[in-house]
Amino acid sequence: MRFVKLHGSGNDFVVFDNRQGEVYDFVKSLNLSLKEFVVKVCAFHTGVGADGLILIENPENYENHFKWQFFNSDGSVASMCGNGSRCAVRFAYEEGIVDKQVRFETLAGVIHAEVLDEGKRVKVLLTKPNGLKDVSLRVRGTSVEGSFINTGVPHFVMLVDNLESFDVISYGREIRFHQVFEPGGTNVDFIKVNSEDSISIRTYERGVENETLACGTGAVASAIVAYKRGLVKRKPVEVRTKGGDILRIDFDDDLSRVFLEGSVYKVFDGFLHKEAFYY
Ligand SMILES: N[C@H](CCC[C@H](N)C(=O)O)C(=O)O
């Protein structure tokens, strides 16, 4: 089973062309559920290893170029993934499925994207964020203040001192599962302000259940929260990710248009053998 491994600023994905249902046939031949397949493919050491898995499929509406299914590495389905969308567009461009102006269907809605620099950079117009609100919750016996916003998937954003040494994984996990965010939980973004148009971010990602090197919808959530709370004064906002790449976030004041732009890296073309699933 052919696949391509790509990452968007360190947030990595295994992408399959499933337009003829090839993946479904392969999974059925293995007597696995789709969720089991995803978990095994995304596993490090025994699979390909990735934060998520993407299936490229034929669109429901012919005016769009393709539809996708997005899965986190734990097999859970997410309605949107910013970095994954940039990788999916690069894949579709190189497969000749799309040209440089792209429209594709996600559970969050139709995403518009633009291929830049022959796919080495992709700019995505996300769906309109919603639900921006201040949230206070108790974590480890202390009151924590932050902001919630849904940028295609839910995010809780909070300012921290010494971001570099912050305990993102255990502290992030407590917030990710906090009852305030039930049902479904949330992704958790920890940020510091660098300048009037720059923040740094570290993200605990729902469904990966770990810190990732970058989170596209998290970078967008954090840039919007930082701007709306007056922590940054200018747009576009530079978001410095854990992996070191910079994501460029721009948006209208009324959030009617929200853009995520950054680098995409093609890591390898691969072939999955059935015996990979016998372990
Ligand atoms: N883990 C997220 C989906 C992927 C988001 C992230 N990888 C991005 O680039 O937006 C969730 O289940 O809400």
Task: Compute the distance between CA of residue 197 and CA of residue 200 in angstroms, rounded to an integer.
Answer: 11
Show binding-site residues for substrate.
11, 72, 82-83, 187, 205-206, 216-217
Q: Is the CB of 150 under 6 A from ligand 1?
A: no
Angstrom distances, CA of residue 94 to CA of 23, 45, 48: 19, 28, 21
Q: What number of other Cβ atoms are within 10 A of residue 68's Cβ? A: 24
| pLDDT of res. 236 | 98
Q: Is the CB of 78 under 6 A from ligand 1?
A: yes
Task: Compute the distance between CA of residue 234 and CA of residue 193 in angstroms, rounded to an integer.
Answer: 12
Task: Compute the distance between CA of residue 255 and CA of residue 153 in angstroms, rounded to an integer.
Answer: 15
Contacts of 214 (CB under 8 A, 6+ apart): 8, 9, 10, 11, 83, 203, 241, 242, 243, 245, 247, 262
pLDDT in tens, the chain (279 residues): 999 999 999 999 999 999 999 999 999 999 999 999 999 999 999 999 999 999 999 999 999 999 999 999 999 999 999 999 999 999 999 999 999 999 999 999 999 999 999 999 999 999 999 999 999 999 999 999 999 999 999 999 999 999 999 999 999 999 999 999 999 999 999 999 999 999 999 999 999 999 999 999 999 999 999 999 999 999 999 999 999 999 999 999 999 999 999 999 999 999 999 999 999
What pTM did the predictor assign?
Answer: 0.97
Task: Compute the distance between CA of residue 97 and CA of residue 19 in angstroms, rounded to an integer.
Answer: 10
Query: 65: which DSSP letter?
Result: S
Domain 2-127+265-277: top CATH class: alpha beta
Fold topology of 130-255: Diaminopimelate Epimerase; Chain A, domain 1 (3.10.310)
- What is the whole-number distance in angstroms between the Cα of residue 151 and the centre of ligand 1? 10
Tell me whether domains 2-127+265-277 and 130-255 share a fold. yes
The number of angstroms, rounded, from the C-alpha of 7 to the middle of its chain's C-alpha atoms is 10
134 is written with which tokens? 């201040």
**pLDDT tens digit sequence for 81-116:** 999 999 999 999 999 999 999 999 999 999 999 999
Q: Are 87 and 44 in contact (CB under 8 A)?
A: no
Residue extents of the structural domains in the chain: 2-127+265-277, 130-255
243 is written with which tokens? 């992996």
ipTM of the complex model: 0.95
Active-site residue list: 81, 215
| pLDDT of res. 33 | 98
